[in-house]
Amino acid sequence: MPDPQHTQVVVLGGGYAGTVAVNRLRRRPDIDITLVNPRAEFVERIRLHQLVAGTGSATVPYSSLLGDGVRLVVDTAVRIDTSARAVELAAGGALPYDYLVYAVGSTAGDTAPVPGAAEYAYSVAELEQAHRLREAIDGLRPDTPVTVVGAGLTGLETATELAESGRPVRLLCGGLLGPSLSAPGRRSVARRLARLGVDVRESAVVAEVRADAVVLGDRTVLPSPVTIWTAGFGVPELARASGLHTDALGRLITDETLTSIDDDRVIAAGDAAAPSGQPLRMSCQSATPLGAQAADTVLNRIAGARPTPIDQAFIGSCVSLGRRGAIVQAARRDDTPVNVFLAGRVAAAVKETICRSTLWQIRREAAKPGSAVWLKGGRKAVEPESVT
């Protein structure tokens, strides 16, 4: 039973942002913390392309990540009733809260504009989708090519992971290979793709997806028994369905303290947050510090202190290109790339170290709440809006 003298904090979403948030909230002993997540295990989304290619796993037990006292509820939130301060759950019932941390993460992007994509294309955005794709690939002959649509970071990681494992891969870029990379970085990635034998079609745009083919904008039909869609991400509709203000994609609009502009008891973090309507790049590089900052906002409000605006910078992008290759693309603190990068086996070692460090950071926060640190000085703060 909840202690009536304790503050009830519910965190929706047990990804990178949510797990850091619940662990950091343990800085106060008078908080009852509930984590709501649809799965009983933590998903390393940065390794889902490995699961698809059969080169690694992507789940970790929550028992190894959450600090003492955090209650895990395996369920899905279907509505936030801000007037009653309660979260309605798919399995029935509701969880009351004094403060809510909205960290529901991201999903596969909207494929509706492309006929057939929703019906026939596979995604690597979520665990269940990655398992479904893995089963489809396992059902193919070893020499049967697969098609990856989208040459952003997820598309590059998926295409190279499959190619390095011996699978023939066609990559349809939609206009530009690696658009978030610098020009020298893109050339380095192109060389790696060529060495792996990936059929790169930089200008190809997909007009239709069929069960066994993709149709390009010029009406060329390419055989494709498995088509993987990596062109963009979306977010759950929970905030919008609950009557909260969101941006066009559905991210919860907050002020610069990550507080909802509708309700100062709702704090957002991670991919589903849009501070001042200007979201940071969807990534664990954003999610981990945003989870810490969301927890700090809650702690400040409980203490009656003024929450501080977010102050977060980027260092660049780190992209695996198979197990034996990667690119570490340097960037300015505002997340714009510069003409400096590291590639090859050394970059692959750096990438693997960074992937492992994400779990290390979560576990450190569990062992010592308040220990999370991040690079600051990249985002120009906006004066927080007053909320009622």
Question: Across residues 71-99, what is the average pLDDT?
Answer: 97
**Assigned CATH topology for domain 7-106+235-308:** FAD/NAD(P)-binding domain (3.50.50)
* Distance (Å, whole) CA 107 – CA 48: 13
Q: What average pLDDT does the segment 308-325 reach?
A: 93
Do 7-106+235-308 and 117-229 fold alike per CATH? yes
Mention every residue, 6+ apart, whose C-beta is less than 8 A from residue 120: 209, 210, 211, 227
What are 254's strand-pairing partners?
Answer: 260, 275
Kindly report, residue by residue over 204-241, the tens digit of the pLDDT.
999 999 999 999 999 999 999 999 999 888 999 999 99
| Residues 343, 367 contacting (CB under 8 angstroms) | no
Domain spans of the chain? 7-106+235-308, 117-229
Find, among 376, 377, 379, 383, the residue nearest to 255 by Cα.
Answer: 383
pTM of the complete model beyond 0.75: yes
pLDDT per residue as tens digits for the range 107-165:
988 877 899 999 999 999 999 999 999 999 999 999 999 999 999 999 999 999 999 99
What are the φ/ψ torsions at residue 42 (nearest 5 degrees)? -75, 135
365/372 Cα distance (integer angstroms): 6
CATH architecture label of 117-229: 3-Layer(bba) Sandwich (3.50)
pLDDT band at 387 (very low <50, low <70, confident <90, very high): very low
Q: Which two tokens stand for residue 31?
A: 């908080």
User: 329: which strand partners?
Assistant: 317, 341
Instruction: Look up residue 355 and give its two tokens.
Output: 């992937």
